[in-house]
Structures are given as C-alpha cells and as structure tokens.
Structure 1
Amino acid sequence: MDHVIQFEGIPMSKSMRGMCKEEDYAFLGEKGESHKETDTLGEDWKEDKVERVRRRRERVQQEQERVREVEESRKEKEQQWRHHVAELASTQEQRLRDRLARLRRFRDFQRSVLAEEMSLQTDSESSQALDQLLTRI
C-alpha cells in the first residue's frame, strides 16, 4: 500500500485516479531506482572507459616493444650477415694468396727445370728462351 501513499502525492483528478491502475504508475517507483541505476551505469561506463584506455595503452606499449624487438633482431641479423660476408671475403682472399704462392713456386720450379735442360745455351739467350717457353706453357 505504499504505492497509494506515493500516488496520492501526484496531482490529478479523482476520476483520473480511478481510471489509472497501479501498473500505469509502476514506472514512478522505478524512476527513483533508475536514477540510481543511471548513476551506477555512469560510473560503470566511466570505469569501462578507463579500462579501455588502459588496455589500449597496454596494446600500444606491447606493439612498441614488439617493433623494438623486431628492429633489434633485424640489426643483429644484419650484423651477423656482415660478419659472415667479411669472413667469406677474407677466406677467399687468403685462398687466392695461397694459390698465387703455389703458382709462383710452380713457375719457379718450371723455370729451374728448364734452366737445367737449357744450361748449354748462354745466359741471355737462355733467359729469353725460358720466358718464351713459360709463356707458351
């Protein structure tokens, strides 16, 4: 019967009161509660907004961290690649030097063998002949 007391406070004619039913005024009782709910909804909305902002910041921070890690990984791989290429270049250069040294020793060996075979000729003629023979070989 609380609703009767509440509804008596509403100004309206007696005939109008008779026509209206309790459920027609039910929203009046809920109005005060809905205002409280609206306040809690507003607070919930604010909390949700703060939570969304916090999650967005976390995602941005995680993305920045991921980008930084990818960049560091790329730099490290690039440095490893440069080191690898430098090692290959130095190895190849060393092989070429070794090959050049072997070829020079072989040329010297050929020159000495040919010099022994041509020892009968004069020195100036033999050096020219040696050069010609080595050039042909």
Structure 2
Amino acid sequence: MAHAKKFSQIPMSKCMRDLCKEEDYTFLNSLEKPDESPEESTCVESECQEKQEERIRRQQEREQLDREKQREIEEQQKEKDKQWKSHVAELAVQRKAIRAKLDRLREFRDFQKKVVLQDLGLDPGSANESVKHLLMRL
C-alpha cells in the first residue's frame, strides 16, 4: 500500500479521505480479481452506487437540518428585533410623558413665584435673594 503513504501527505477532509479510501479499495480489489464474472463486478458497482446514494441522502438530510436551523435563527432574530422596537417605542412614550410633566412643573413654579411676589408686593421682574430662598424652601 505504497499509495496510502504517498496520499497521506495530501491535505483533505476526513470525509473526503474516507471516500478516496473506499474508491481505492474498490479499484484495487477489481485489479486483484481479474477472474471475476461480470455479475460480481456489477454487484460491487451496485454496492458502491448504493453507498454513494446513501451518502447523498445523508448530505441532503444535513442540508435540510441546516436550512431549518437557519430559518429558526432568522425567526428568533426577527422576534428580538420586534421586541426591541416595541421597547424603544415604549421608552419614547415615557420620555414624552416625563417632558410633559417637567413642563407642567416649570409652569407651576413660575406661577408659584408670581404669586409669592404679588403677596410680598414686589416687582415680578426683580431678582431678590430672599424670594429665591423662600421658593427653594417651598
């Protein structure tokens, strides 16, 4: 089996190496048995063909599983995107509500300042430290 040593230096996948070994053994066996009848050679060929069909079937099953996994991953990604978009929309609504509340608080603060200044009889435009201090305490 000098060819095995020679071919072992060639880099290839394990699956491909197994496939090559099967073909090599089939070929070498057919060379060693020249006295085979045509029926035996067709039997060997049919076995090889069956093995090839089995490999093709397994490969198609793997490809089908890979497609299904890929589809599931895509569906999960779409679901995550949908959840993220709804979360962002919810945050935007919350942000608007907080800004509206802030605006109402500022309006109330201005109104409160105006009332205090009127009660004290001061000019609304004056910046008195005691008024600021009083509003801070409120």
Q: So what's the TM-score if we normalise by structure 1?
A: 0.61
Aligned mate of 1:95, from 90, 98, 102: 102
Check if 1:104 corresponds to 2:111.
Answer: yes
The change in CA–CA distance for 1:106 and 1:30 in structure 2 (over 3 A counts) is farther
Q: Name the SS for the 2:121 alignment partner.
A: helix
Query: Considering only CA atoms, is the larger Rg found in Structure 1 or Structure 2?
Result: 1
Segments of structure 1 that go 5 or more residues without pairing to the other structure are: 1-23, 116-132
Number of residue-to-residue matches in the alignment = 97
The change in CA–CA distance for 1:30 and 1:104 in structure 2 (over 3 A counts) is farther
Q: CA deviation at 1:63?
A: 0.6
Segments of structure 2 that go 5 or more residues without pairing to the other structure are: 1-30, 128-138
What is the aligned partner in structure 1 of residue 78 from structure 2? 71
Q: CA deviation at 1:105?
A: 1.2
Which structure is higher in helix share? 1
What is the aligned partner in structure 2 of residue 80 from structure 1? 87
Q: CA deviation at 1:74?
A: 0.7
Q: Name the SS for the 1:102 alignment partner.
A: helix
Deviations 1:18-62 (A, max 9, x none): xxxxxx994132754332121011111111111111111111111
What is the aligned partner in structure 1 of residue 25 from structure 2? none
- Moved runs in structure 1, 4+ residues, more than 4 A? none
Give the CA RMSD over aligned residues. 2.3
What is the aligned partner in structure 1 of residue 132 from structure 2? none
What is the aligned partner in structure 2 of residue 36 from structure 1? 43
1:96 is aligned with what amino acid?
D
Q: So what's the TM-score if we normalise by structure 2?
A: 0.61
Q: CA deviation at 1:97?
A: 0.6
Q: Distance in 1 between matches of 2:116 and 2:125?
A: 15
Identity %: 11
2:46 is aligned with what amino acid?
D
Q: Distance in 2 between matches of 1:69 and 1:25?
A: 57
2:95 is aligned with what amino acid?
L
Between stretches 28-37 and 101-110, larger displacement belongs to 28-37
What is the aligned partner in structure 2 of residue 134 from structure 1? 124
- Which of the pair has the greater relative contact order for Cα pairs under 8 Å at 6+ separation? 1
